[in-house]
Chain A
Amino acid sequence: MSSSSSSTERVALRAQVLSRHLHPSSSSSSSPCLLEPRACLEYSPAELSESIDFDAKAMRKLMDDHNLEDRDWLYGLIIQSNLFNPRDRGGKVFVGPDYNQSKEQQRVMTMKRIEYLAECGVFKGYLTDFSPPSQLRRFALQEVSDSFDHSLSIKIGVHFFLWGGALQFFGTKRHHDKWLSDTENYRVKGCFAMTELGHGSNVRGIETITTYDSDTGEFIVNTPCESAQKYWIGGAANHATHTVVFSQLKINGTNQGVHAFIVPIRDADGNVCPNIRIADCGHKIGLNGVDNGRIWFDNVRIPRENLLNSVADVSADGQYLSAIKDPDQRFAAFMAPLTSGRVILASSATYSAKIGLSIAIRYALTRRAFSLTSNGPEVLLLDYPTHQRRLLPLLAKTYAMSFAANHLKKLYVKRTPESIKTIHVVSSAFKPTLTWHNMRTLQECREAVGGQGLKTENRVGHLKSEYDVQSTFEGDNNVLMQQVSKALLGEYVSAKKKNRPFNGLGLEHMNKPCPLIPSQLTSSILRSIQFQMNIFQLRERDLLNRFAAEVAQHQAQGVSREITFTLTYSLAEDLGKAFADLSIMQIFIEAEEAVPAGHLKNVLGLVRSLYAIILLEEDAAFLRYGYLSTDNAAAVRKEVAKLCVELRPHALALVSSFGIPDAFLSPLAFNWIEANAWPSVEN
């Protein structure tokens, strides 16, 4: 018998066996269909009931803005590698760390993933190519690694943007030559020791002290007391070999302020260097994939060349040298480069919100609860006006925040010495706004998906503990917002004193006459760009005037500037928010105007209006200071409901446009019944 006929016979045999399985048995007439078990509650994917009425790919381009192909490539690298914990749920593959692992295991996995990405060439050019396109590519890849796991992107960020950034911006040629390429290929693992147990926001108050020994040509770095121990230093507890340590520099008995020094903390074998003590910060409520450590320096000696000397230097014979005489200005020049952290952070907050909303909205398009008629089917969650009210305004805000983040990134990569100040103010406003928005969104999304939000694997609840830190690090949100009102005040006072028009920080609208708000707010007025711009400009204008007046009043009574600011905090807070909201509104409008006429532009217009109007509804300032009457406020509230109804049909399209791959969401966003079915239970 030839091999082909025997295999044909085998094939025929298999067909017979299968056929016998499926041939209905002669015994009962109503035998159940053996192939398709009937579920009582059937899952129907959102794609079948919802339509996509605009070009979602084009909308994704607006959301992601840059480096789409790079992002998709990195998404693919993560999805296809076993290192990223792929698991099958309900027929789909999802990736995401196993948060059930111990913190030690999670930290090991994080480092393994970074090593894999390094091998794939992800970090090529990170510290050698500083062109704007390369910087944007880095931001894009950070956002993708963030979407996988916040610990992953933080660990990468600490090494490249904090340690690497410090070398780049505070260091000079000798540091670049010695450290940059070793950093890029991970021969050196860096961390960033600025924060201390007793000083976080107030960097200038840190207590680590460094002196100079001109006999040996060495700096001596020391931790003089327990409150001076470095704390929360990502990478320090397990892996880092080097750190940039921020310390007071005392030369010839004079404290010259905060400076940065390179200190090796581990040798190539992973042993902690002499005169250095390292302890673990311990288990955290989230981000256990990052090994945060505490560091004590016991009169550690380092070569003079280890001072990062782009702003100031110490000569071999111990003379302090700096081109910038004023210590305040010197400190500002020092800190300016750290803005990149603030920028990427703000953007990563929007991606976390996008993931939360994608999951919550997709779930709400497939989950039903209660019937509204006696024999009717249960109603989809997102068909309830209450559910729309909870999620759709947050969706609109996330669109706005996304445009804002893209604008900030572009501003940053194209920075000039003249624009640095503006970038500082804008990032100080956007970072708090976007990170607080993210936490608010995640909480609502967790509640909106009910009990399933408690499952770590469903992501949406777990993201809260992972992202909570964003309101604290890279600048405490409250402290940052105060900087915004101070900067606006500075511009105000300067313009008044020099009797010149407002120029800068978007204050030019104050040179025009005060905007008028109609007493009756119809739907079409509320949705008009003109009205929305007017009311936000009115709020900023009025609050700035009031703030300046109150500050002037206190100072006229002899109160110091610093104490005045602690007394005028209510207006300062309202003003900071007014600036942030107006800036973001402006950016959204510009983005919308650039879109050609069509379905996409129409839907974007609805989103923009919902963004503007929900702010009018939520922020008490509008009623408090009389920009809106109580009748206006009622009209605003009605309009929110109308806009939610109009945006409801576009909900799936709007979250699909975020471009987050299915594998990065969670089983809750897809066939959550199948994902929980008995056959999928692991024994």
Chain B
Amino acid sequence: MYKSVSNLVLEETCGSVRIYTLNRTKQLNALSFAMISRLLELFHACDHDPSVKLIIMKGNGRAFCAGGDVAAVVRDISKGDWKLGANYFRKEFTLNYLMATYSKPQVSFLNGIVMGGGAGASIHGRFRIATENSVFAMPETALGLFPDVGASYYLSRLRGFFGEYVGLTGARLDGAEMLACGLATHFVPLHIIDKCFSRKTVEEIISVLESKAVEHKDEWITSTVQTLKKASPTSLKISLRSIREGRLEGVGECLVREYRMVCCVMKGEVSRDFFEGCRALLLDKDKNPNWQPSRLECVTDEMVDRHFSKVDDIDWEDLKLPPRSNLPVHAIAKL
């Protein structure tokens, strides 16, 4: 049933507060292109409206937002040009940047699933309220994609090498773990995460994890290794490099770089893992993706590099982010 966008993003005013509620409950509030466009309009309008002092983001149903509408992106691409997909991400990343550099506080109630694009629409805001129902994850490597929506910026800034762990394994965090990120442990001593996920390459990370698994006989370590081995090898390598580079970049630079990466993925010339991942996990749901290349050793530096270079296409250009002025302190610090 087609819902007009005014039904997909509900709007409420409460004095100087605007409350925007994602309302696409059957799809766990997955962000469609229309919803992203609407949010951009709303955020731009509020930016210049002196009567607005605060924005609250919520989600109806049992999710805040389960992610971007990647299945729809894949369907669009299969009908026509990869650039239709690129358009989606360009809009989404622009929204992420606007939220990251917003002049007014954004409070997001993460009462439920918050994954992928849902994280992108909330983590960049000033306040994030987690509850006992929160479930956070960046699950892209299992899908042949990589943690995008500015994740290379915020994951890289979690303490130690937790960011690499979360980004590469798609690990799920509950509300308490989200709060504690950086202060307390996950369900395993953090120093093991740091020891393993600080290694320079994905191969070394897995190798150290495997030796730790023997040493410690810990189920968590074994299951982490399994998760990594099931993920797309290409995704793992580009995700690791993305987080490493993001650590040393401002949020705008991160998004510009992630846009190049996601366009390369959309183009599907280096690897078609994204399409295969969506097929196996979202469409056919056989959960048995056939990654190409299937082994880490076969993913060359050259293949990885191509994801970080400008896209070779006459009509393509780098993501252009809007100039921002009157930034609050916390936003300045992100540049």
Q: Which A residues lie at the B interface, using CB under 8 A?
A: 3-4, 7-8, 10-11, 14-15, 18-19, 22-24, 33, 35-36, 43, 45, 47-48, 69-70, 72-73, 75-77, 79-81, 90-93, 119-121, 661-662, 670-671, 674
Minimum CB–CB distance from A413 to chain B (whole Å) comes to 21
B328 at the interface (CB under 8 A from A): yes
B45 at the interface (CB under 8 A from A): no
- Chain B residues with CB below 8 A from A11, complex form: 58, 109, 111, 129, 131
Output the nearest chain A residue to B199 by Cβ-Cβ distance.
Answer: A121
Output the nearest chain A residue to B156 by Cβ-Cβ distance.
Answer: A76
Q: Which of B14, B244, B332 gathers most chain A CB within 10 Å?
A: B332
B77 at the interface (CB under 8 A from A): no
**Could you say which of B85-93, B220-228, B245-253, B267-275 contacts chain A?**
B245-253
Residue of B109, B156, B194 touching A15 (CB-CB under 8 A): B109
**Could you say which of B15-23, B33-41, B291-299 contacts chain A?**
B15-23
Minimum CB–CB distance from A206 to chain B (whole Å) comes to 42
**Given A11-B129, A18-B56, A45-B332, 5 further pairs, Cβ under 8 A:** A7-B132, A19-B15, A48-B324, A75-B247, A92-B333
In the docked arrangement, what's the CA distance between A193 and B95, Å?
Answer: 61
- Chain A residues with CB below 8 A from B54, complex form: 18-19, 22, 35
In the docked arrangement, what's the CA distance between A35 and B324, Å?
Answer: 19
- Chain A residues with CB below 8 A from B75, complex form: none
- Chain A residues with CB below 8 A from B330, complex form: 91
Residue of B104, B129, B198 touching A35 (CB-CB under 8 A): B104
Q: Which of B17, B323, B325 gathers most chain A CB within 10 Å?
A: B17
- Chain A residues with CB below 8 A from B83, complex form: none
B44 at the interface (CB under 8 A from A): no
- Chain B residues with CB below 8 A from A47, complex form: 250, 335
Supposing A4-B62, A91-B332 touch, asked if A19 and B17 sit within 8 A by C-beta, the answer is: yes
Interchain CB contact under 8 A, A43 and B332: yes
6 contacts between A and B (CB under 8 A): A11-B109, A36-B328, A69-B241, A69-B244, A76-B198, A80-B159
Interchain CB contact under 8 A, B133 and A670: no
Supposing A4-B133, A10-B131, A80-B160 touch, asked if A35 and B332 sit within 8 A by C-beta, the answer is: no
B53 at the interface (CB under 8 A from A): yes
In the docked arrangement, what's the CA distance between A15 and B241, Å?
Answer: 38
Interchain CB contact under 8 A, A7 and B133: yes
Output the nearest chain B residue to A674 by Cβ-Cβ distance.
Answer: B329
In the docked arrangement, what's the CA distance between A119 and B208, Å?
Answer: 12
Interchain CB contact under 8 A, B329 and A3: no
Q: Which B residues lie at the A interface, using CB under 8 A?
A: 14-17, 19, 53-54, 56, 58, 62, 103-105, 107, 109, 111, 129, 131-133, 156-157, 159-161, 194-195, 198-200, 204, 241, 244-245, 247-248, 250, 323-325, 327-330, 332-335
Q: State the main secondary structure of chain A at its contact with B.
A: helix
Output the nearest chain B residue to A11 by Cβ-Cβ distance.
Answer: B109
- Chain B residues with CB below 8 A from A80, complex form: 159-161, 194, 198, 247
Output the nearest chain A residue to B157 by Cβ-Cβ distance.
Answer: A93
- Chain A residues with CB below 8 A from B323, complex form: 48
Residue of B16, B131, B199, B245 touching A72 (CB-CB under 8 A): B245
Output the nearest chain B residue to A75 by Cβ-Cβ distance.
Answer: B248
Interchain CB contact under 8 A, A23 and B248: no
In the docked arrangement, what's the CA distance between A23 and B17, Å?
Answer: 8
Minimum CB–CB distance from A22 to chain B (whole Å) comes to 5
In the docked arrangement, what's the CA distance between A79 and B156, Å?
Answer: 10
- Chain A residues with CB below 8 A from B159, complex form: 80
- Chain A residues with CB below 8 A from B109, complex form: 11, 14-15
Interchain CB contact under 8 A, B111 and A670: no
Minimum CB–CB distance from A13 to chain B (whole Å) comes to 11
Interchain CB contact under 8 A, B160 and A22: no
Minimum CB–CB distance from B21 to chain A (whole Å) comes to 11
- Chain B residues with CB below 8 A from A662, complex form: 248
Interchain CB contact under 8 A, A671 and B333: yes
In the docked arrangement, what's the CA distance between A81 and B334, Å?
Answer: 20
In the docked arrangement, what's the CA distance between A11 and B19, Å?
Answer: 13
Supposing A7-B132, A19-B15 touch, asked if A33 and B53 sit within 8 A by C-beta, the answer is: yes
In the docked arrangement, what's the CA distance between A128 and B327, Å?
Answer: 52
- Chain B residues with CB below 8 A from A24, complex form: 15-16
In the docked arrangement, what's the CA distance between A662 and B327, Å?
Answer: 19
Minimum CB–CB distance from B167 to chain A (whole Å) comes to 13
Minimum CB–CB distance from B281 to chain A (whole Å) comes to 27
Please give me the 5 A-B residue pairs with the lowest Cβ-Cβ distance, nearest first: A91-B333, A23-B15, A661-B248, A92-B333, A22-B53
Interchain CB contact under 8 A, A91 and B15: no
- Chain B residues with CB below 8 A from A3, complex form: 132-133
In the docked arrangement, what's the CA distance between A369 and B14, Å?
Answer: 44
In the docked arrangement, what's the CA distance between A23 and B15, Å?
Answer: 6
Output the nearest chain A residue to B54 by Cβ-Cβ distance.
Answer: A22
Minimum CB–CB distance from A144 to chain B (whole Å) comes to 12
Output the nearest chain A residue to B204 by Cβ-Cβ distance.
Answer: A121
Interchain CB contact under 8 A, B160 and A45: no
Residue of B15, B58, B62, B160 touching A81 (CB-CB under 8 A): B160
Interchain CB contact under 8 A, B198 and A77: yes
In the docked arrangement, what's the CA distance between A76 and B242, Å?
Answer: 12
Minimum CB–CB distance from A78 to chain B (whole Å) comes to 11
Interchain CB contact under 8 A, A76 and B332: no
Interchain CB contact under 8 A, B111 and A8: yes
Minimum CB–CB distance from B324 to chain A (whole Å) comes to 7
Q: Which of A3, A43, A77, A80 gathers most chain B CB within 10 Å?
A: A80
Minimum CB–CB distance from A129 to chain B (whole Å) comes to 15
In the docked arrangement, what's the CA distance between A121 and B329, Å?
Answer: 37
Minimum CB–CB distance from A1 to chain B (whole Å) comes to 14
- Chain A residues with CB below 8 A from B198, complex form: 76-77, 80, 120
- Chain A residues with CB below 8 A from B200, complex form: 69-70, 73, 121
In the docked arrangement, what's the CA distance between A609 and B151, Å?
Answer: 42
- Chain B residues with CB below 8 A from A10, complex form: 131
Minimum CB–CB distance from A273 to chain B (whole Å) comes to 35
- Chain A residues with CB below 8 A from B244, complex form: 69, 72-73, 76
Supposing A3-B132, A121-B199 touch, asked if A91 and B329 sit within 8 A by C-beta, the answer is: yes
Interchain CB contact under 8 A, A35 and B333: no
Output the nearest chain B residue to A90 by Cβ-Cβ distance.
Answer: B333
Supposing A48-B323, A661-B248, A671-B332 touch, asked if A35 and B53 sit within 8 A by C-beta, the answer is: yes
- Chain B residues with CB below 8 A from A45, complex form: 327, 332, 335
In the docked arrangement, what's the CA distance between A418 and B192, Å?
Answer: 50
Minimum CB–CB distance from B157 to chain A (whole Å) comes to 8
- Chain B residues with CB below 8 A from A36, complex form: 103, 328
Q: Which of A10, A22, A43, A81 gathers most chain B CB within 10 Å?
A: A22
